[in-house]
Chain A
Amino acid sequence: MAKQGKDTVPSKKKGESRPSPKEARDPDWANGLRQLYDSVVDEPLPDSFKDLLDKLDDESKST
């Protein structure tokens, strides 16, 4: 009996049925994180970036 107890998982406290966060490979919020990232990816590009890209061309022409 005592030997068996050695290998059993320690009894969980009440309300601890969820897996430990470390084991959760793809947590519930994973999609939220991608959405956050994608919300920026999908933003229209500010004009400052177009200006910068144009400037790069000028720069390479002059060099």
Chain B
Amino acid sequence: MTGGGFLARNIAGFTQALESVVVTEDLCHAPGLMQGLDPRIKVVTLMLFIILVGLAQDFTLLIAIFILALLLVLLSKIPIALYLKRLLIFIPIFTAVIAIPALFITPGTPLLSIAGKAVITAQGAHTAGLLIMRVVDSLSLGLLLVFTTPWTKLLQALRWLRLPSLVVDILGMTYRYIYLLLHTANSMFLARQSRTIGGFSGTENRRWLGRALVTTMVKSQYLSEEVYLAMLSRGYQGEIHTLNELTLRRRDFIWMAFALAAISLMVWSIYL
């Protein structure tokens, strides 16, 4: 095992995470359909759609939802390549691990046999298909929310949904400091890499990793104390106040009417 590979892999991971957060933030401010909607309406309607995906039991409905999500992605000016990339990073891994064996393992009427031995059953294909479509749909709807709503707006919506303010405040600040700690960890690994010629043994790498983690932990502890003092000096008394108020506009009502109509229609199609 080479030390360089281990360090590089970690640096790549941190950089990727930072990049994806930055890209997401940028997209949230693009002028698109979903970006212009009130976050509260968006959270509620998209969550309803995701629950609907969970309830759906046939392909037509799941495909209909996927087409709707795709349409919304296009209308919200989300680069289709980026959306597919995010979607497909996940799909192949899970398809291989979960869906493919299900094709063969699920007992039922044989549909197709490969090499005379392995038999794909109709039930297996149905199960695997349902699972794939459900994950694709839920992920598409989730991405739609994340790509069009800044984190702060999302938290405002959660606060409106009666999530305790303490939890909302923690979520907000955690997001803020993940950035900072990612940078800190990244610099630590870069510094290590810049001083490394050749490689280290696995044991040595693990030891260094342990020290790096403790350092990051202690740093975060000191920082939390400093942040607390900074908050106190700005008049913090246990409550964080925000200035911008959310207001509903006409397009919010139009979207809400459309979404609720679509959802009722789909629920009706499930139970009738």
A and B bind? no
